[in-house]
Structures are given as structure tokens and as C-alpha cells.
Amino acid sequence: MKKYFLLLTFFVVSATILSAQSNRRYDYDSSYYQSYKGSIIARVFFSKKYNQFSLDPPGNLPKMAYHANTTFSIGVGLTYRSLSFSFSKELSFLKSEKSKGPTNDFDLQLHLYKRKWTIDAIGEFYKGFYLTPHGVGTPDGQNFYVRPDMGVQLVGGSVYRVLNDQRFSYGAGLSQNAWQKKSAGSFLLGGEVFYMAANADSSYIPSKTDSVNNQKNIRKLHLFEFGPGVGYAYTLVIREHFFILGSINVNENLHFSREIGNSLKADNIGLTTNFIFRLGAGYNLSRWGVSLLWIQSAINTKGQSSDYEYRNTIGSYRLVYFRRIALNRRMKRILAPIPVSN
């Protein structure tokens, strides 16, 4: 728990530093969007997070993917200026642990959609996975290949500059801190850095699927990568209230990876292409609205010894009902110490 506490402290301090901007006003074209940074935004949401570790072997061997056994959650949240808080509870009765095994997870995600910047920080620690397609890796081919000993850890983040912040608001579609009234888009410039580790008590390559690489007992993979990226985001607005948001970032990263097995430490250095995409749709009014969001990112590498292509994919779906609450003068004075997010 000590490392989880330190990670949580890091995220909180990072969010405070990134959000501590001066209180001067920035001009923007209010005919395109309206900012609500002075209002409290209350939300109720249903969400589902997922984590997938994929293995793409060479030749004619089948592609495989380890999945964390996650399910839907229900939650509530509040946002004011740069400060956000949310609480969610997993709907465990929807999870099938009998066929897919249990997953223990600790998940921290920070997504800041500021006026000029979009900032994502991630810390994910999952243990307990099952393999797809169904039956792959098992002796009888009838059940899921379950690995309660397998874990995947991911820490990192990305920062992107929104170039057309005068007419386009990321927050209007993703964090509900603005209302996009006219269609607009923006190019994005930035970069990302990530560290990932996958580990198990024995080889995560099933012997029934690939006996050659299974005998190497490759049970650990470490990956560090960083690099610049470009992207584009666009919100289509229909009759001022309905919106469809699409965004994609493409990164070209330098990666350092290591496979560890029996008397084996095989390193690989090279370039890889990663992506982050966001999709959203909903209905927006000045006081309330509803939105459906999908966010996904992936990092890739190649194993030097196994020649496998590895990919770790994380993402979430979220259905949100939100309401903006205007503050009177007294409440604004009480909440004045909270920094403004520009």
C-alpha cells in the first residue's frame, strides 16, 4: 500500500502544479463555446474500465489477449475550477469470476481538459487475467485459460497543447466544463512517456499454443518508452445542442524493452507507433446535459527473444448525466482559494 499512497500523492501534487495558473482572463470566441469554470459541475455516471495485454506471435500461431476481469461501476462526482472529485462502486454482481477468474486492481487516472492543454496521467496495477479467444491455451479447449498469478502495471502520462483554444473546447465534450455551440476543431501537439511491466510465476505464453517459446519460460516483460506526437480533435455540433466529438493522437516513441526468462534477458531498442483516441456524443444545455464517452490508448513493443509483438491497451466507457450549479457571491468567496483551470 505504500507505493499506492506515494503514487496517489504524486498525482495530487502534479494536478495542483499543473492547475495553478494565474487568475487573469483569457479571451476566446464565445460564439463558439461558453465556459463554465465558475460553476460547480455535479455528475452521476456509469462506467467500465478495461485492461488488455495482447500477444501477437510470428508465423501462423494464433493471436492472444489477456483481459482483466472488470465490470460496470456506478459513481458520482463534483468539479469546481481545477478541483475534481469522484467516487464509484463496482457492480460486482455483474462479474463472472467462476469462468474468468478474479482480478484485483488499483487504478488511478487523471484527465485534465484545460483551455489550452489536455493532460492525462495513469497508474494501473492489475493482477488476475484470463486469455482469449475462448479455449486457447487450455488442454480441453472448453474453458478460459485463467492466470490469477499474472500482473500488469502501467505508469505514465501525456501532455498535448490545444492550438485552436479560441474556438474549440475539449472540456465541452469530455469534462462538461464548457458548452460547444458551433462546430470546430483543433490540431494537437505534445508527447507521452510510459513504463509498463508484465509478470507471472511462469511463462505467460501457453505451452499448448507455442511450446518453443514456452520452454524459454518468458515470464516478465519490462517496457519504457517516450516520444513526441501530433493529433487532431473535432466537435460536430447539430442545432447547437447535440454534439459528436472525435479525437486521435499518434505518437512515435523510442522504446526500451526486456524479456526475462530462464537464463534469459533479451533487450530490444527501437521505434514504435502508439495512439490515444477519444469519442463522445451527447446533448448539452446551459444547466444540464448527458454524454456517452469512450477513451482508449495503447502502447506497443516487440520481444527480442520471442519475436512476439506486445500491446497493452487500456480504456473506459462512461455514460454521464451532469448538472451545472451556479454559485452566489458568498459561495464564490468561500471557494476563491481554489485555482482557476485555464
Cell of 340: 482557476
Query: What pLDDT, on a 0 to 100 scale, did the predictor assign at position 130?
Result: 95
Asked which of 16-25, 41-50, 160-169 is least confident by mean pLDDT, the reply is: 16-25
pLDDT of residue 165: 94
More confident residue, 276 or 93: 276
Q: Which pLDDT does position 22 carry in this prediction?
A: 39
243 has pLDDT over 70: yes
Domains of the chain, by residue range, sit at 32-334
DSSP string, 31-99: TTEEE-TTSEEEEEEEEEEEEEEEEE-STTPPPEEEEE---EEEEEEEEETTEEEEEEEE-GGG--HHH
User: Considering the chain, what percentage of its residues have pLDDT values greater than 90?
Assistant: 59
Q: What is the mean pLDDT of residues 309-319?
A: 94
**Residue 8 vs residue 216, higher pLDDT:** 216
How many other β-carbons are positioned within 10 Å of the β-carbon of residue 83? Answer: 14
Are 314 and 296 contacting, i.e. CB atoms less than 8 angstroms apart?
yes
Q: What is the pLDDT of residue 9?
A: 46
Task: Show the CA angle centred on residue 285, arms to residues 282 and 289, nearest 5°.
Answer: 45
Is the pLDDT at 8 greater than 70? The verdict is no
* Res 274 pLDDT > 80: yes
107: its cell numbers: 487504478
Specify whether the CB–CB gap between 230 and 249 falls below 8 A: yes
Structure confidence at residue 341 (pLDDT): 57
Residue pLDDT, tens place only, 183-232: 999 999 999 999 999 999 999 999 989 988 999 999 999 999 999 999 99
pLDDT of 80 > 80? The answer is no
Contact 206, 162 (CB under 8 A): no
The whole-angstrom separation of Cα 284 and Cα 287 is 8
pLDDT of residue 271 exceeding 80: yes
Which residues are CB-neighbours of 281 under 8 A, at least 6 positions away? 242, 243, 244, 245, 291, 292
Instruction: Tell which wins on pLDDT, 171 or 151.
Output: 151
Per-chain mean pLDDT for the chain: 86
pLDDT tier for residue 88 given thresholds of 50, 70 and 90? confident
Task: Say which CATH topology domain 32-334 has.
Answer: Lipocalin (2.40.128)
The 3-state DSSP class for residue 329 equals helix
pLDDT tens per residue, range 22-35 = 344 557 898 999 98
pLDDT of 234: 97
**pLDDT higher than threshold 50 for residue 18:** no
* pTM score: 0.84
